[in-house]
Amino acid sequence: MITLSNVYKEYKLDGEVFTALKNINLKILEGEFTAIVGPSGCGKSTLMHLIGLLDIPSKGNISIFDKDVSKLNDNQLSKLRNEFIGFIFQQFNLINKLNVLENILLPTIYSRAKLDFDPLKRVWELLKRFGIEEKAKSFPNKLSGGQQQRVAIARALINKPKLILADEPTGNLDSKNGAMIISLLKELNRKDKITVIIVTHDVHIAENTRRKIRMLDGEIVKK
C-alpha cells in the first residue's frame, strides 16, 4: 500500500542543512496496524507527514495506493489525501467555532469527488458508534478530551479512508481515555479493514501492536 525507498527529508536552517530523515526504506501493507516509536525529535511526525502527503521528500521515492507521489501535482495530492487518508492528532485539531456535527462534516465539504454516501446520515452513524450522539450540537471546548478525540476520529473516518495516521493520539488523554481510543483504532483496523499507523510514546500501546518501527536520529533502526 505504501513504499518508501531511500527517502530523505532535509530542512535548511540559517543556511545549514538539517537532515530529519535519512535513507528511510519501508513498506506498509494493506491491513497492517503499525506503531512508530522513538525519542522526541527522531523524525516520527516528519515521517507521518510524508506518508500522509502533507509534505514531500527532499530525496527518494514514495508510492502510495500504487501511485508515485513525485508524479502528482498539488491538486492530485490533496485529492488523494482527502479521499483515502484520515488524520488524528495529539491536539485533536478541532475547529472551535464549529459544532461537533459541522467539524465531522468538514472533510466532505473539501472533497471535490462525488460522495457515494449521504454525509449527514454517515455523521449520525459515527456519532452513535462512538457514543457521542448527544454532543452533536455541542462545541469542542465543551467536551472532555476523550470526547474530542472521538469527534476527531469520526472526522477522520467521514470520507471512508483506507489509511489512518494517528500521531500521538493518546498524548493528551488520561490512561482510561487513552485505552478507549486505542481499542477504537484496533476495531477500525480489524472490523473496517483500515490500515493504521500510530506514533506513540506509550510503551504499553506499542507492545500490543503487531508491528513496531523504531526510529533514532532520523533513521529506522528496527522494523
Ligand X SMILES: Nc1ncnc2c1ncn2[C@@H]1O[C@H](COP(=O)(O)OP(=O)(O)OP(=O)(O)O)[C@@H](O)[C@H]1O
* Choice between 46 and 177, CB closer to ligand X: 46
Among 7, 21, 45, 177, binds Mg ion (CB under 5 A): 45
DSSP letters of 24-85? EEEEE-TT-EEEEE--TTSSHHHHHHHHTTSS--SEEEEEETTEEGGG--HHHHHHHHHHHE
* Choice between 129 and 211, CB closer to ligand X: 211
Least distance from ligand X to the Cβ atom of residue 65, Å: 23
* Binding-residue pattern over the window 109 to 138 for ligand X, x denoting contact by CB under 6 A: ------------------------------
Q: Which of 191, 169, 165 is nearest to 180 (CA)?
A: 169
- Asked if 203 touches ligand X (CB under 6 A), the answer is no
Handedness of CA 197, 202, 206, 209 (dihedral sign): negative
- Asked if 13 touches ligand X (CB under 6 A), the answer is yes
* Choice between 49 and 135, CB closer to ligand X: 49
Q: Which of 120, 125, 172 is nearest to 146 (CA)?
A: 172
- Asked if 11 touches ligand X (CB under 6 A), the answer is yes
CB 3 within 8 A of CB 27: yes
- Asked if 200 touches Mg ion (CB under 5 A), the answer is no
Which residues, at least 6 apart from 23, have a Cβ–Cβ distance to it below 8 Å? 6, 7, 8, 60, 219
- Asked if 216 touches ligand X (CB under 6 A), the answer is no
Tell which positions 35-54 bind ligand X, by CB under 6 A.
40-46
Residues that bind ligand X in the complex, under the rule CB under 6 A: 11, 13, 18, 20, 40-46
